[in-house]
Amino acid sequence: MPRAAELKKGHIVQINNQPYIVSQIEVKSPSSRSGTTLYKVRFNHVQTKQKLDQSFTGDDMLSAIDFQKRQMQFLFQDADGYTFMDNEDFAQFTLSTDQLEAELDYLFEGIEGLYGLLVEGNLVGIELPAVVEMPIEETPPAIKGSSASARTKTARFASGLEIQIPEYLETGEVVRINTESGKFMSRA
């Protein structure tokens, strides 16, 4: 049984005997000494995708649900959605755009370290790796002599993701991006 402070995006828990997947967590730290840290969590129902917002203190306990975490591979996108394949038994699953929401910006052909979350044999969500390496699709040209400054510019990637990168990077370079914060980390 996980505590609210241990919840992470993608965890599956049971609320009112229904399976919910954690889609967003916001931590509110109090300014007073005796205040308790609050965790505002947005859940999505595993089957209906209905949203549920709840607040917890760090020690609140939640009921875990029996699910499998299997290594997956992203195959392709079509009109039906995004298709993934289980690396162990080669079963294929399709998730809609609505089911993937925040993960869409980081999905690209050949992504490594992708995990699928299975409840009763059905894929209900995916867990991204902590860091992805993606080539820059489009960015303004590098400015000579700007490497010593901390200025940034916008870079666009094939998935549609746009982030701020250092000014000295150019189109085609591969960069490491933190999937939790959506920020540039380093060159690959």
Distance CA 145, CA 102 (A): 36
pLDDT reported for residue 50: 83
Q: Where are the domains of the chain?
A: 4-64, 68-129, 132-187
Residues 81-89: what's their mean pLDDT? 92
Query: Does 132-187 match 4-64 at the fold level?
Result: no
**Assigned fold of 68-129:** OB fold (Dihydrolipoamide Acetyltransferase, E2P) (2.40.50)
Higher pLDDT, 11 or 149: 11
Distance CA 120, CA 136 (A): 38
Six-digit token pair at 175? 């960069």
Tens digits of per-residue pLDDT, 9-66?
Answer: 778 888 888 888 888 888 888 776 667 888 999 988 877 778 899 999 888 898 888 7
Q: Which residues on adjacent β-strands are paired with residue 93?
A: 84
pTM exceeding the 0.85 threshold for the entire prediction:
no
Residues 173-178: what's their mean pLDDT? 94
Q: 132-187 belongs to which homologous superfamily?
A: Nucleic acid-binding proteins (2.40.50.140)
Tens digits of per-residue pLDDT, 104-147?
Answer: 899 888 888 899 888 888 888 888 898 999 999 999 987 666 55
Residue with tokens 């089957």: 47
Distance CA 25, CA 131 (A): 19
Distance CA 51, CA 36 (A): 25
Q: Which CATH architecture has domain 4-64?
A: Roll (2.30)
pLDDT band at 149 (very low <50, low <70, confident <90, very high): low
